[in-house]
Amino acid sequence: GVSQERALELLDMVELQGHAYKIPAHISGGQKQRVAIARALINDPQVIVADEPTGSLDSVTSETIFNIFARLVEQGKTVVMVTHDTELIPRFTRCLYISDGRLVGGLADTAHQEESAAPTMPETTAEPVISPNGHYNKPDHINLKTQTNHDTSKPAIHLENVVKTYVNAAGSFTALKGIDLEIPYGQFVSLVGKSGSGKSTLLNMLTGIDHPTSGQVTIGGTDIYSLSESKRALWRGRQVGIVFQFFQLLPTLTLLENTILPMDYCNVYEYQERPQRALELLKMVGLEDHAYDLPANVSNGQQQAAAIARSLATDPPIIVADEPTGNLDTRSADIVIEVFQELANRGKTILIVTHDPSLTSRTDRNIIIADGELIDSTVAKVMPSLEHHLMLEATHTLEKRLYASGQPIIQQGEPVDYFYMVEDGQVDPDV
């Protein structure tokens, strides 16, 4: 066995000794990754292999993880890291490129190069992720029944003063601190926050997976925590489609069977209709030719596309996706976002968790969470370069005022120790 002293020594090395007695559910994704590194070092191996260890983490947490590996290399360890983050390339001793199952471009020695660039990739015949030309092609006709019985006069998602506090032997920790949020139907929304900010906890509240300590969660007009566990599970299956970061496809079922499964569980659509509907969904994401393949026989991008198809099986009005592009290359991620944009155009409400700013710019609305609180949208829009904790401080000191047309905001010559941000309307500085 491993002594407690050795375990604490390893946790200290990854800067987690203060969390030694917490369970995984009570720490952030980045902290879990550091625990995984500590666990990998238990037997003091000379070689450490890490598969996308920074893929789903924000830039600050990714830097922490990378620096831990760099220190291990300085101690004489050999570290092999799988990544699709091109910004990391110059920082490796060597980079090995693989395409279509073959090594390409040889080994690039980056240790002695002032500038490093990936070798030119040859043309390959790799299987398409969504469509043969690398883009999401909207099909001319998809024969899908569309749900129309939700009341669009009410918001799709409404949270009122939601608080979530975890209590364990180490004490209590409040992950959500009075969240107020409203999202209408047909909106494509991104949720951004650093590791440990409360993103996953908020998703658990929205999907009925975890109970709030206090506050109300209303989805499509239903107070979901007034339902019993069994009724809430059935509600979730019919009203919310969930796309997981790591796909969570059942490995022994084909992509078609994975897509049919939610219809069987929730007992929606006639039995004989379900296979055809599943095929139409797979066709919509460009996977009709892979319907009878097992998940292990298709690429990560194709598995994520299949997960999106599965999330649509019961035609839910709301789709929630947790880091759906975190483990995909740039091209595959772009295609997945195009699929979500098309779904929003069809009236679905899409909420994705991401830390990629290039993706947030393509959504209708971006919500930032920091330390369990939502940052004011005007603060985020006016001062986008601020660190999230500074945005949160600005949110705390913000005072909202409403001015009538023609009413002066500030008199000329009046000394002030604050500034104004205009959320809506126009201001004439010459009056």
Query: What is the average pLDDT across 52-60?
Result: 72
Residue 134: inside a domain, yes or no? no
Please indicate, yes or no, if residue 352 is contained in any of the structural domains: yes
Question: Confidence band (pLDDT; 50, 70, 90) for 150?
Answer: low
Of the pLDDT bands very low, low, confident and very high (cuts 50, 70, 90), residue 388 is: confident
pLDDT of residue 110: 47
Do 163 and 302 fall within a single domain? yes
Q: In sequence order, what are the residues at sequence separation of 6 or more whose Cβ sits closer than 8 angstroms to the Cβ of residue 185?
A: 150, 152, 155, 156, 317, 347, 349
> Residue 414 has which token pair?
């009046």
CATH number, residue 295: 3.40.50.300
Mean pLDDT of the chain: 81
pLDDT value at position 122?
Answer: 36
Q: Are residues 183 and 312 in the same domain?
A: yes
> Looking at 30-39, 102-111, 112-121, 286-295, which range is the least confident one?
112-121
Q: What is the pTM (predicted TM-score) of this model?
A: 0.66
- Are both 66 and 163 inside the same structural domain? no
Expressed in angstroms, the distance from the first to the final Cα of the chain is 77
**Residue that terminates a domain, selected from 63, 84, 105:** 84
Nearest Cα to Cα of residue 201 among 25, 368, 402: 25
429: in domain:
no
Question: Which of 262 and 382 is assigned the larger pLDDT?
Answer: 262
Mean pLDDT, range 376-404, rounded to an integer = 84
For the ranges 151-160, 237-246, 361-370, the maximum mean pLDDT occurs at: 361-370
Q: Considering the chain, what percentage of its residues have pLDDT values greater than 90?
A: 22
Q: Which residue has the higher pLDDT, 92 or 430?
A: 92
170 and 297 housed in the same domain = yes
Q: What is the mean pLDDT of residues 34-49?
A: 87
Domain end among 43, 65, 84: 84
Same domain? 161 vs 76 = no
- What percentage of the chain exceeds 70 in pLDDT? 85
Contacts of 134 (CB under 8 A, 6+ apart): 128, 331, 335
Residues 6+ away with beta carbon under 8 Å from 292: 254, 255, 256
Of the candidate ranges 130-134, 214-218, 243-247, the one whose mean pLDDT is the lowest: 130-134
Is the pLDDT assigned to residue 105 strictly greater than 70? no
* pLDDT (average), residues 320-340: 80
Classify strands 365-370 and 373-374 as parallel, antiparallel or unpaired: antiparallel
Please say if the pLDDT value at position 333 is more than 70. yes
CA 81 from centroid of its chain's CA atoms = 22
The pLDDT, as a whole number, for residue 125 is 34
Same domain flag for 176 and 76: no
Q: Considering the domain boundaries, does residue 271 fall inside one? A: yes
Are 162 and 79 members of one domain? no
Would you place residue 393 in the very low, low, confident or very high pLDDT band (cuts 50, 70, 90)?
confident
Q: Is 64 exposed, middle or buried, given 0-12, 13-18 or 19+ CB atoms closer than 10 A?
A: middle
Q: Is the pLDDT of residue 13 over 50?
A: yes
**Does the pLDDT at position 111 exceed 50?**
no
pLDDT of residue 99: 64
- 294-314 residue pLDDT tens: 999 998 888 988 998 999 899
Residue 47 lies in a domain: yes
Q: Give CA–CA dist 293/296, Å, rounded.
A: 8
Residues 333 and 193 in one domain: yes
Whether residues 72 and 211 fall in one domain: no
Residue whose token pair is 């969504």? 130
Q: Would residue 162 count as lying in a domain?
A: yes
Does residue 132 have a pLDDT over 50? no
Please check the confidence at residue 275 and state whether its pLDDT lies above 90: yes
170 and 76 share one domain: no
Q: With bands split at pLDDT 50, 70 and 90, how would you rate the model's confidence at 147? A: low
Q: What is the DSSP string of 123-167?
A: P--PPPSSSTTSS-PPPS---------S-TTS-SEEEEEEEEEEE
Give the structural domain span for 79. 4-84
- Tell me which of 311, 339, 363 is where a domain ends: 363
Q: Is residue 131 part of a domain?
A: no
Report the domain count for the chain: 2
For residues 46 and 171, state if they share a domain: no
The answer to the question of residue 223 being in a domain is yes
Residues 172 and 306 in one domain: yes
pLDDT digits (tens, 9 = 90+) for 66-87: 888 888 888 888 988 888 776 7
pLDDT tens-place string over residues 178-208: 999 999 998 999 998 887 888 888 998 999 9
- Give the residue with greater pLDDT, 105 vs 315: 315
Confidence (pLDDT) at 202:
92
